[in-house]
Amino acid sequence: MLRKIIQLITGRQMTCRRYVDLMTEYMEGDLSDADQELWEAHFEGCPGCKTFFTGFKNSIELVNHLETQGCPTEVKKRVQSILAARAERGGHSQSKG
Ligand SMILES: [Zn+2]
pLDDT at 32 (0 to 100) = 92
In a domain, 33, yes or no: yes
Confidence of residue 5 (pLDDT cuts 50, 70, 90): low
Q: What is the pTM of this model?
A: 0.50
In a domain, 20, yes or no: yes
Distances (CA, A) of 31 to 70, 75, 89: 31, 40, 55
In a domain, 95, yes or no: no
Amino acid making up residue 93: S
In a domain, 36, yes or no: yes
When the pLDDT of each residue in the chain is averaged and rounded to a whole number, the result is 78
Rounded average pLDDT over 13-39: 85
> Is 95 or 80 the better-scoring residue by pLDDT?
80
pLDDT at 97 (0 to 100) = 57
CB atoms within 5 A of ion ligand 1 belong to 16, 46, 49
How far does the centroid of ligand 1 lie from the alpha carbon of residue 6, in Å? 10
> Is 45 or 70 the better-scoring residue by pLDDT?
45
In a domain, 92, yes or no: no
7 touches 39 (CB < 8 A): no
In a domain, 37, yes or no: yes
Percentage of residues in the chain having pLDDT higher than 70: 77
In a domain, 6, yes or no: yes
- Parent domain of 53: 2-87
Number of domains in the chain: 1
In a domain, 93, yes or no: no
How far does the centroid of ligand 1 lie from the alpha carbon of residue 64, in Å? 26
pLDDT at 65 (0 to 100) = 78
Report whether pLDDT(44) > 60: yes
